[in-house]
Structure 1
């Protein structure tokens, strides 16, 4: 997995993830608050390993995971820990960028993290041998596509779709972004943003975080069963003050 977009707004940002997974992977749990050493974390929980791919910290930090580094890789027979659990090890820290730099990632499968820490945006890549940390322009929209699923030419094509979406929409809102994550593409279901490869590998969910200065929302759409939830909360009061489930 997956496809991730970052879009700055007038008083915050949107971080959205399409999670592409195998049919056999167990259903994930909708986002809710969990208590950790560093504070409260909100995230959807993976049904197989118990980790996650996207989370918000009560301090306002946000992070999302993509499988793979810069290039597709050959998976080893086994790894010592799932990437979704490594994600939580890194994010359970006031400064996840520092946690990424310090953590031992030997015998962990390659991954990419998009980290919004305070007023900064970083791409953190573990390619199986070394860590590469790159600061991104926090004022520029950006799209990431997992190297394990999408070859360079498809990644470039998806970037063109995203750039056209940004040009054509001006000031974006929740509906604009969700429309892109549902429908962007050229009709090739194997590589569209909402993808499906013979019903064996497909987009199982869409998660969207809208982080503002004083309040935020975390929307989650389970595409397997049509269920959705929306968490609304302020940053002065935790956990969420409103929880809507459909």
Structure 2
């Protein structure tokens, strides 16, 4: 949930890849299918019942990063988990309307990256800074995010440069992005794409790739090296 890349591919398709940086003792379940409010979902579940990355048959992928634009001081408790917010966004019929009306007060700051293809493919970014929502539609371009809670401005800029170097040197595709998320600056345990500061480290890498009406999720637990791959078919969408 702390490093995310997204790229558009062709024919309304895309690849989204995320590294989850978390306390090693925080338990999560491998991706599985769930039904919430009659909506079929696929996601790895965290201990609160939510997720940091999920696919919805509402033709949407939702991915959460901790923190807004800048690092924040944590409160002792919050009203709702950010992972549950992700679930709510996945089951929404109209994501823009849902976000506009959603009560985020007393929820810890976060950034959400959304791919939605109910008509043509759209990328969205929602930043909740603890006071205000900042919701925009993004251009369909390659992009990287690094969580403000773990990575300083300087670290984020350097990681951005690594990503731009990758774009310059190779055709971006699922394999290239998986390699980027797995091997970039492996000796840099502080802010390499796979990081390990002891109390927090990269626990898993999840990649979602949409190809037509099929979408798949690849989840790798970096401790066990177990790889889980699951797919499901999506409803037919007529492009606008």
Name the TM-score class by shorter chain. over 0.9
Q: Name the SS for the 2:31 alignment partner.
A: strand
Q: Residue 77 of structure 2 corresponds to which residue in structure 1?
A: 78
Residue correspondence of structure 1 range 196-207 to structure 2 within 5 A: 196-197=196-197, 199-207=198-206
1:187 Cα deviation from its structure 2 partner: 3.1
Higher relative contact order (CA 8 A, sep 6+): 2
Cα distance in 2 for partners of 1:33, 1:135 equals 28
* Equivalent residue, structure 2, for 1:42: 42
- Aligned position for 2:24: 23
- TM-score, length basis structure 1: 0.90
- The answer to whether the 8 Å contact 2:58/2:92 transfers is no
Instruction: Tell me the residue number matched to 2:97.
Output: 98
Unmatched segments (≥5 aa) in structure 2: none
Equivalent in the alignment of 2:137? 135
Residue 89 (str. 1) matches residue 88 (str. 2): yes
**1:95 Cα deviation from its structure 2 partner:** 2.1
Match of 2:10? 10
The 5 Å alignment of 1:1-246 reads 1-11=1-11, 12-26=13-27, 28-37=28-37, 39-46=39-46, 48-118=47-117, 119-138=121-140, 140-170=141-171, 172-185=172-185, 187-197=187-197, 199-236=198-235
Per the alignment, in what secondary structure is the counterpart of residue 29 of structure 1? coil
Deviations 1:143-187 (CA, angstroms, capped at 9, x unpaired): 0000000011110100000011111112x3332111100111373
Distance in 2 between the 1:147 and 1:233 partners?
Answer: 33
Q: Write out the 4+ residue segments of structure 1 that deviate beyond 6 Å after TM superposition.
A: none
**Cα RMSD, aligned residues only:** 1.5
CA distance in 2 between counterparts of 1:108 and 1:236 reads 32
Tell me, yes or no, if the aligned pair for 2:59 and 2:235 is still in contact at 8 Å: no
SS in 1 for 2:167: helix
Q: Give distance in 1, aligned partners of 2:132 and 2:180.
A: 33
